Amino acid sequence: MSAITAKLEMGSPAALATTSVVASNTPIARSDGGPIMEVRGVSLAFGGIQALSDVSFELRAGELLAIIGPNGAGKSSIFNCLSSIYTPQAGSVRLNGGELVGRGPSHGVRMGLGRTFQNLGLFDNADIETNLMLGRHPLMSSGFLAAAIWRGKARREEFAHRERVHELIDLLKLREACGRPVSLLPYGTRKLVEVGRALAMEPTVLLLDEPVAGMNREEREHMAETIATIRETLGTTIVLVEHDVGFVMDLADRVLVLDFGRVIQCGDPETVRNDPRVIEAYLGHAADAGREP
């Protein structure tokens, strides 16, 4: 068995603990609902490079959809189209029926999208509480700074937001890491803080960009447990783009596979694991990578 086939067959050893820690403000949306997000005919080119060709899929309320594919398959491109960082030349991305294409990232946040970045995008000198409070900024009517200065309504609002931030800190088991600049925290902990900041926006759909990239085995298992807890507790719908195929197989309800910018499979993990086109795509790219230039 090749290393790639072995990787496809390998499941993440994560124990999917689902402890209920905090009650959510977010309405629980379960997978028996209709599509919460509809992606139709998305095509994106960079000059002569066709990064995405006619990509279509649906995201059901409450599910976890993993997007995988070999290097250069278009994972980051579709992720950036979903979060309105890129505007595709063709196609539509609708969240709860509303069009996101061409409206910019802040519109996506207002519509209920939360995202993390492949490379950490935290405020390094600030502690966890401040980073999460800044994540809540789009929800604040008076603003974080005004809340810090003024009394009365702004003060009460700030208190309620801070209380929610502390619920999230407990949900993510980050209490012990509080009080220090996040730059001093271990890498795996900082990735969790980034998830916390995205959750602080109370998203209905959470987009996770390679959440376990660069993590050791223990950190990967902890992240898998945390993602499972978020689903169980908050009912958040999750799209996860990931290189680590083993990680997604145990976690995802469905797996969408991209190759050369096209969807070659979308189904439950077992179907994807056994699809010869998927194995071929990974093997083909592994062979290309090993070839002399």
Ligand X SMILES: Nc1ncnc2c1ncn2[C@@H]1O[C@H](COP(=O)(O)OP(=O)(O)OP(=O)(O)O)[C@@H](O)[C@H]1O
Task: Identify the three-state secondary structure at position 174.
Answer: coil
76 binds ligand X (CB under 6 A): yes
Give whichever of 75 and 273 is closer to Mg ion, judged by the CB atom: 75
181 binds ligand X (CB under 6 A): no
77 binds ligand X (CB under 6 A): yes
288 binds ligand X (CB under 6 A): no
Nearest to 50 by CA among 4, 97, 88: 88
Give whichever of 75 and 161 is closer to Mg ion, judged by the CB atom: 75
Which of residues 35, 72, 143, 188 is near ligand X by CB under 6 A?
Answer: 72
Which of residues 73, 109, 248, 256 is near ligand X by CB under 6 A?
Answer: 73
Distance of alpha carbon 212 from alpha carbon 221, whole angstroms: 9
> Which part of the chain contacts Mg ion (CB under 5 A), choosing from 39-47, 69-77, 164-172, 253-261?
69-77
Handedness of CA 166, 194, 173, 111 (dihedral sign): positive
> Which part of the chain contacts ligand X (CB under 6 A), choosing from 73-81, 103-111, 174-182, 196-204?
73-81
CB of 260 to ligand X, least distance (A): 8
Residue corresponding to tokens 């009365």? 152
Using CA atoms, how far residue 252 sits from 26, 68, 228, 255, in Å, is 21, 11, 10, 6
> Which part of the chain contacts ligand X (CB under 6 A), choosing from 74-82, 125-133, 150-158, 159-167?
74-82
> Which part of the chain contacts Mg ion (CB under 5 A), choosing from 75-83, 120-128, 172-180, 222-230?
75-83
Using CA atoms, how far residue 110 sits from 103, 174, 176, in Å, is 11, 26, 31
Per the structure block, which two tokens stand in for 207?
A: 């987009």
- On whether the CB atoms of residues 201 and 108 are closer than 8 A, the answer is no
Identify residues 27-56 at the interface with ligand X (CB under 6 A). 46, 49, 51
Residue corresponding to tokens 């290309």? 288
> Which part of the chain contacts ligand X (CB under 6 A), choosing from 67-75, 109-117, 274-282, 283-291?
67-75
Other CB atoms within 10 A of residue 237 CB: 26
* Count of residues near ligand X by CB under 6 A: 12
Which of residues 5, 76, 87, 130 is near Mg ion by CB under 5 A?
Answer: 76
Which of residues 37, 59, 75, 83 is near ligand X by CB under 6 A?
Answer: 75
Strand partners, 57: 39
CB of 63 to Mg ion, least distance (A): 22
Which of residues 74, 135, 203, 246 is near ligand X by CB under 6 A?
Answer: 74
Task: Identify the three-state secondary structure at position 62.
Answer: coil
- On whether the CB atoms of residues 151 and 208 are closer than 8 A, the answer is no
Element (H, E) at 243: none
Distance of alpha carbon 67 from alpha carbon 65, whole angstroms: 7
237 binds, among ligand X, Mg ion, none (CB under 5 to 8 A by kind): none
Q: Which residues lie near Mg ion (CB under 5 A)?
A: 75-76
Q: Which residues lie near ligand X (CB under 6 A)?
A: 46, 49, 51, 69, 71-77, 243
